Amino acid sequence: MVLPKKTQTELENIINTVIAECESTNDLGKELAEAGASQGTWISSLKQSAGRGRLGRTWLSAEGNLFLSVILRPPSDFQHWGWLPLAIGVAVSKAVDHVRPHSGIKLKWPNDLWVGEAKAGGILCEASSAPTANTKSYVIAGIGLNCVTAPTTDVKTAALGIPADELRPLIIDFIRSESDSLFRYGPSVLRDQYQERSLLPAGTEVEWTGTAGTFAGAVRGLGESGELLVSEGDAPDAKEIKLFAEDVKIKPRLGAGAKSPA
């Protein structure tokens, strides 16, 4: 069922607010952005009936966890689009560390949030198709965080044990400051901050799945557009591949048990 679009007054009433429920906060964020909402405007919901994840997946959205979308308005000459989702991941991990220093939260490229060997959250950035005279380009950064419940999915999940109400204002502040910093100064500072928090540092053996199948190799680092650079195979002269949106898993080590954590 497609719900009717909201009126201007209904939209004004949900700006920077936590509402009881919706289908997806990213859909509401998009409506707010199309109506002209500014950089850093947000909408959050206690639960979602049609939460979306990356790569067309469903995001299970039970009450108690965090569901938040923030509108980002890059400047017209912005060139670092690939870094924006990574900046949001850094912002969310900084917010979690602010509440619980040394939480161990890590970023699994591009912007999954992991604690130990389990996924604790994810980020879905959705960009406007094309700017028009009325709607400048925007990105909706959607954050789903397992604050109190670890949903059952095909990937092992964990809950942070921090109430959503405690994290929400910090996450919004960090997202505003990290995105402003990327818009002004580009990705040079962000690159180091991301690498410090990465679950996939250089040398990590990984597998990735794309349209052409599943491949294995080792991480080499981040490219200039925020893409993951990997070697195809483990020979020293192996070809370098650039991953932009593929699903990446840590390669299970022989004898380390049958189930891969990521």
Instruction: Please give the residue ranges that form the binding site for ligand BTN (CB under 6 A).
Output: 24-26, 48, 51-54, 57, 59, 67-69, 112, 122-124, 142-144
In whole angstroms, how close is the CB of 46 to ligand BTN at the nearest point?
A: 12
Structural contact between residues 139 and 41, judged by C-beta atoms closer than 8 angstroms: no
Residue of minimal Cβ distance to ligand BTN: 122
Give CA–CA dist 89/190, Å, rounded: 11
In whole angstroms, how close is the CB of 231 to ligand BTN at the nearest point?
A: 26
Nearer of residues 52 and 94 to ligand BTN, judged by Cβ: 52
Nearer of residues 38 and 153 to ligand BTN, judged by Cβ: 153
CA 19 to chain centre: 21
In whole angstroms, how close is the CB of 45 to ligand BTN at the nearest point?
A: 8
In whole angstroms, how close is the CB of 59 to ligand BTN at the nearest point?
A: 4
Nearer of residues 67 and 183 to ligand BTN, judged by Cβ: 67
In whole angstroms, how close is the CB of 165 to ligand BTN at the nearest point?
A: 16
Nearer of residues 112 and 178 to ligand BTN, judged by Cβ: 112
Nearer of residues 68 and 206 to ligand BTN, judged by Cβ: 68
* Secondary structure E strands in the chain: 17-22, 42-48, 66-72, 105-108, 112-115, 118-127, 139-145, 205-210, 213-222, 228-232, 240-243, 247-250
Nearer of residues 33 and 218 to ligand BTN, judged by Cβ: 33
Q: What share of the chain is helix, strand, coil (3-state, %, to 5)?
A: 25, 30, 40
In whole angstroms, how close is the CB of 238 to ligand BTN at the nearest point?
A: 29
Secondary structure (DSSP) of 236-255 = TTPPEEEESS-EEEEPPPTT
Please give the order of strands across the beta sheet that includes 240-243.
240-243, 228-232, 213-222, 205-210, 247-250
